Chains A and B, each alone.
Chain A
């Protein structure tokens, strides 16, 4: 198996403007099962003569039984797109869009609470399962390889870096998940760790964090109590200057916990293999899996 996306994924792509179309093309090229494209005004035509367009998510779901949706619509309309997918009964929603206002995100989080739906993002690269060629988002298909390492990350391009190092050291991936870099995001490290822990195909995990927030500490706590598989982690931003502040209030709830050193400490205490240099992710995995 793998997590979240696999051979049963029927993908719907919403928002096929310049970036969305480019990514939709790449997704088809990679071999993912794309069943519907949603873009108002194009119903009756097909994307690249292959994927039928629909003017609403509800219609697309009725006709194609799409169960996973990826969103490329511009930030001002992202909240509407997410809510539309929730209301249409999509199980897994992946919002790639960058720059969604945080006040929209907190409303979305309230709206989906207690509904049978999972949101990944916004502002994330999405996810990819190499073994089934299922790409939901913008992670380049040509850098991954099927295998047994689960990757979860807050970053985009740094995730690609980690994947490249894994491949270089002979490791493929079960699933790669980018959860997004914004302060409010749908799926957390802890959610993904839980899935990797119970996934037979995943033998070890790479966790890429960043300074800010306390989600890495929550992940460390979860790993300590529930994760038996080895975890290699790297936290970006050790050298970011703490002096530059947005305002005092931020620091109150933030406290020291937002620092890379504090996150590394928590992860080390949880038995995680912490690397301090981003160039050591693949090498450390090799040592751990020896």
Chain B
């Protein structure tokens, strides 16, 4: 690990480059329910906090495109509103120089699916477009705020290299990335905001503007319980105005109980249909492309361990699924149906170590769902903990295609034996 290129302040940053909040990769897994919001909605929030954004209009049909682009003097940027990063690289952001061109592009984008490196293979639907003015850019910067788990504090991440893939900057030019830790009880003090402005080489005339922007951004982050706010790029125009050219905000799901006003931003259409059903049933589920083993587990760690053991047995997990501790029989039934509705699943692996959960309830849920859906997929079951014997007895007497295993080790062995015989 290398020391990070942060402000040279003894307390402001104790950071280590490579230290982290939870891991993007798996936040998605452990905390499936982070509320993503669209760029145009983030832009609304920015405006509420006096953060300048380009003039822009949201549309869901191509009809108004012409008049909007004419209003913007014939030149605009059209941006697909989807919950996925990397849209610029796959045609989701287009610069247009006439209203005709704009209309054609808008027609093509609306109603289509965008596949980026962050989506699964079917992509996410484009239902809305943001059409925004273009601006003269003198300099592009990067700024974001997130919680660093190891420091237990909000941290600003900033770079003079805006408009680029920031992961790549972190990899190739780590010295161009600055971090500022904010004290959770004090917040972002103006001096830190000024220091950050100087680090970013913001021209003297714009320092007051940028300092206020950072303070407002921090306020937005805290007041809305965000897990991430990101502006890439934050631009300095030829007139030395500082404007957020992009807006990305994620809200921490655990805090939604105190932000009823933000729930309107929830857009189920941006989720995989199976993931959407899981959210409605209060299950933590992530669909994995190309797997054949449907996994049903209680606990996130055990669910990941079950995926690992599936892989070790020479198979691929079709999903991550944590039924949690308090799922009732209906929840279990829906969990089973979500697994069997995934057409790639050929075998189901149930791994239950019941502490709070009750094995007999899980068993009943599985039996009911299997009968209702007439599924005859083979099921391998490990069941231990609270009421495990009752649960196993119910399953064994159910006439379903069930093999029981005493532990994870045996379950893996059974998987290896059954899988090659399943064919395609």
| Residues in chain A within 8 A of chain B (CB atoms) | 19, 22-23, 75-76, 99-103, 105-107, 109-111, 125, 138-140, 143, 153-161, 164-165, 168, 181-184, 208, 210-215, 217-218, 234, 236-259, 276-280
Contact B17 A237 (CB under 8 A): no
Contact B305 A278 (CB under 8 A): yes
Contact A140 B386 (CB under 8 A): yes
A255 to B157, CA, bound (A): 14
Query: Beyond the given A155-B302, A156-B301, could you list 20 further A-B residue pairs with CB under 8 A, ordered by the A residue number?
Result: A19-B356, A102-B147, A102-B254, A103-B255, A111-B185, A139-B355, A154-B301, A156-B299, A168-B407, A183-B147, A211-B26, A214-B18, A237-B29, A244-B118, A245-B28, A251-B170, A254-B24, A254-B25, A255-B170, A277-B412
Given B154, B228, B255, which contacts A250 in the complex, CB threshold below 8 Å?
A: B228
Contact A109 B300 (CB under 8 A): no
B190 to chain A, nearest CB (A): 20
Contact A248 B85 (CB under 8 A): yes
The interface residues of chain B lying within 8 Å CB-to-CB of A125 are 355
A250 to chain B, nearest CB (A): 3
The interface residues of chain A lying within 8 Å CB-to-CB of B16 are 214
The interface residues of chain B lying within 8 Å CB-to-CB of A181 are 30, 300-301
Contact B144 A210 (CB under 8 A): no
Contact A236 B304 (CB under 8 A): yes
A159 to B183, CA, bound (A): 33
Q: Which of B157, B184, B407 has the most CB of A within 10 A?
A: B184
A182 to chain B, nearest CB (A): 8
Q: Which of B372-402 contact A (CB under 8 A)?
A: 384-386
The interface residues of chain A lying within 8 Å CB-to-CB of B257 are 75-76
Contact A237 B34 (CB under 8 A): no
The interface residues of chain A lying within 8 Å CB-to-CB of B144 are 247-249
Contact B407 A164 (CB under 8 A): yes
The contact string, 1 if C-beta is below 8 Å from chain A, for chain B 32-53, is: 0010000000000000000000
The interface residues of chain B lying within 8 Å CB-to-CB of A234 are 305
Contact A161 B305 (CB under 8 A): yes
The interface residues of chain A lying within 8 Å CB-to-CB of B157 are 249, 252-253
A259 to chain B, nearest CB (A): 8
Contact A257 B252 (CB under 8 A): no
B130 to chain A, nearest CB (A): 18
The interface residues of chain B lying within 8 Å CB-to-CB of A248 are 24, 85, 144, 165-167, 230, 232
A92 to chain B, nearest CB (A): 19
Is B60 engaged at the interface, CB distance under 8 Å to the other chain?
no
A153 to B299, CA, bound (A): 13
